[in-house]
Amino acid sequence: MENQWEDRTASPGGAEGTGDIELWYREYRPYLFTIAYRMLGTVSDAEDIVQDLFLSLSAAAAAPGGEPIRREKAYLARMAVNRCLNFLNSAAKRRETYVGPWLPEPLVDTANPLPPDAAERGEAVSYAFMVLLERLAPAERAVFVLRETMGYEYAEIASLVGKSEANCRQLFSRARRKLDAERSEETKPMAGRELVLVRRFVAAFRGGRADELVRLLADDAVMFTDGGGKVRAAINPIYGPDRVEKLLSRIAFSRLHTSRLTEVPIAGGIGLAAWDEDRLTAFFCFEWSEGDEHGNRALRRIYNLFNPDKLAGVRLALPSPGPAQS
């Protein structure tokens, strides 16, 4: 990747510094947002982190004087990482008391596109990968995100998180072991098949075709529903294709009986938005495997967001719903 430590100098103080900050905001906001989102798993909190970062720089620019800033990209990344670590440490207890599974917010591509090289990293930006990152402690997550998904060298990571290079290597190895123990070798369908599989899921879900849903679900299928204690949702994961199908059928014929479903491009895949008129009532994300030659047994994980607080953030990034999928 490019040199994170490119030696450019600017001062946060005075009119010239204000101009530098405006330039940095245009140039680095998407990059900093990517770091924050992958560390936090929520779009709104990631946006707040980036906004707060530049507000603090603007305040420093309004003050006279100020130390010159070298290597501004690394400087801004360090500010973002530190703010994210503080947020994760303070949020840990809140998430321990969260009702049911805590799922990240999906990142709608049209609202916050990732850097150009993100698509080359595949799984590192998928929703299923974001769910796995929730298994990590804050310091593990910071090191893993920076190394695995952003391509930083260990020496750079050590500077960003304030730890030794050896410690960063240990944190990365520990994070890798945790994630490897939970993820399968195959987590995505063959190129070009995901849209076909999503539409097959929609047809079975809307048509009440239980046998087709069971055929589509993998033998180790699991469904997670996140209501956050705000709305009714299963507070424990649902295991096995038969039990997952039964819950999907109840949702289809009760909560989402009159809802419209629209396909939504999200980071690393395709999601489904459920609409009641202009109100977003649910959002589905998926993890796929290869399945068999007909696409059977391909759906391994279903992640269903019902929490209205999280849906409100997702809704802001979505256009008005189109016609129902069928």
Q: What is the dihedral of CA 290, 109, 235, 94, to 10 degrees?
A: 130
> What is the residue extent of each domain of the chain?
1-97, 194-316
DSSP 318: S
**For 165-169, 253-257, 301-305, which range has the lowest pLDDT when averaged over its residues?**
253-257
Q: Evaluate whether 32 touches 50 at the Cβ level (below 8 Å).
A: yes
DSSP 137: -
pLDDT tens string 261-318: 999 989 888 999 999 999 999 999 999 988 888 788 999 999 999 999 999 989 888 8
Q: Evaluate whether 208 touches 310 at the Cβ level (below 8 Å).
A: no
Q: Which CATH class is domain 1-97?
A: mainly alpha
pLDDT on residue 193 = 85
- Of residues 275 and 91, which shows the higher confidence score? 275
Only one residue has tokens 């994760």, namely 88
pLDDT tens string 110-129: 644 444 444 444 445 789 99
Nearest one of 214, 183, 209 to 296, comparing CA atoms: 214
pLDDT tens string 55-68: 998 887 666 555 66
Alpha-carbon separation of residue 170 from 8, 152, 154, 166, 177 (angstroms): 32, 15, 11, 6, 11
CATH of domain 194-316: 3.10.450.50
Q: Evaluate whether 4 touches 152 at the Cβ level (below 8 Å).
A: yes
Q: Evaluate whether 200 touches 217 at the Cβ level (below 8 Å).
A: no
pLDDT on residue 110 = 60
